[in-house]
Structure 1
């Protein structure tokens, strides 16, 4: 009897602790087609709230996020919370016809994101057909109030989402690939935060830019939404210090570049310690076989202050597309992390 009293007292204490420290947050996701222009042409793509990439969700460790998904598209849809463990909550996890029925056109469904010990960068994306190509966004899990990062506090945190753009309708890309039984058509561009960068045609004015102050430290929350390629990423003349991966802290290690796999997230710090100027942030694929686009997407790192900007930012030298250095990078990262990769 005493054992039962102690057991239930402890259970009620734990439940009360979670209730105090975990908040319930709410988001509204409207799935709808919207017109977008890239690479000199326009087309309609499936979006969340008309945004591409979609909105970033911010929460804290132990929070629960309820996302009201309203499907105004003409296709079935589901949203997957990539890397969230979802304890005892598989029906909100998102994989269509596996743990969850799709959300039909003209209907709504409230998906529940139950956060437990995840911390750092995760992401969300469509989990049916190939709609992940345009339906995706960041999910940032911050420390509890009063807790500190186990690394220098950054002056700013910037989500960096790598993606792809097809000039063709993504539905046709999927259909043609399934009918042929061969590789899917390669994308026409890689993207950083939805923009190809000014090395591609008709893209100069919309290149994604990050402004930094000399001497300050910044945190990039990196996500690879590219369908099938490991991606190299590098900032000209700036080292990157990896401090987290897949919603867990890692022991810090510094590298000239990162190699990030499809679906993976990596948190990296960099210090704005170079001569004030403009520097390219660049990304290109790693691929040793198959059909892929051997092109480079860019964003621009711009220092604040008074100086004469260069006519063109400095471009970093990235590893060759067939280089095996991703194996070395991933081996180092795995040794410094306590967790396996999320799904």
Structure 2
């Protein structure tokens, strides 16, 4: 990224040499990322992150399809970038159906189909949940949407790189991504918009991104996004195996130190991401546990990083219908490429010490 923060600092929309150099880097980045997810470069729009991508998909699809209907289907466990956007649309006369999930955090395909109405214009379901890691049946839901001529948006921010994404075969019209989930730069994202999908722009001004996202492109961030994809793609299998092993190590350490009755793993046992572990420690409050973990040098969260400053019980766990002692003591651990087994052991030891002390 460094050269595009200094010597190649041109505006990619300018026609002079510095601008053309930036444009060339932008095009190369778009080619690499679109190849990684199986779409045409022309179908990829760069944004300021996952939230903007989600908002563009929700508001853009709703506006472009308002003449056909004003009903939207989503789930109760979506990221707030989707939920709050839907709540905003409700204030403008749209109707939104928020589907429940089972105790594992998975939505029913039958429930989605049953919720479809003649005026339904958009279905938005995340690929995998950011708090518990549960994978949703997006292929089956997409098939329903295609059959009924409804736009289908998938928030794939948490899934990018961890789950197979081939937009040439997936029945998806809109898909959101964020660079930092692949260890890329924060504040850079992308939105896949299928050629057949009509989406009104969220931002107005210039004609950047084929008039779908106005504003000077973040060339350095986009180049960083593409480089993160390149690094991850080169070691994807090894990375997935490593993350799965770290997760299993953490669970085994908790079992050894606290016993099977000392903790509860939340989420689907098999249909899940490899790098997210949501665990509850009944009898210990989430707030107390997080404060003590932080003092011990362990970075954990109560849910999404976007809401980790909130003391409210996770809307995801609440929607899963879990007991209060489980929802009130849940902590999310995330694993990345720089973590190792020694850190897992140290984190588990810290958890053991803190939980034992607080329960006493």
TM-score, normalised relative to structure 1: 0.26
Structure number with higher relative contact order (C-alpha < 8 Å, ≥ 6 residues apart): 2
Structure ranking higher in helix proportion: 2
TM-score, normalised relative to structure 2: 0.25
Structure ranking higher in strand proportion: 1
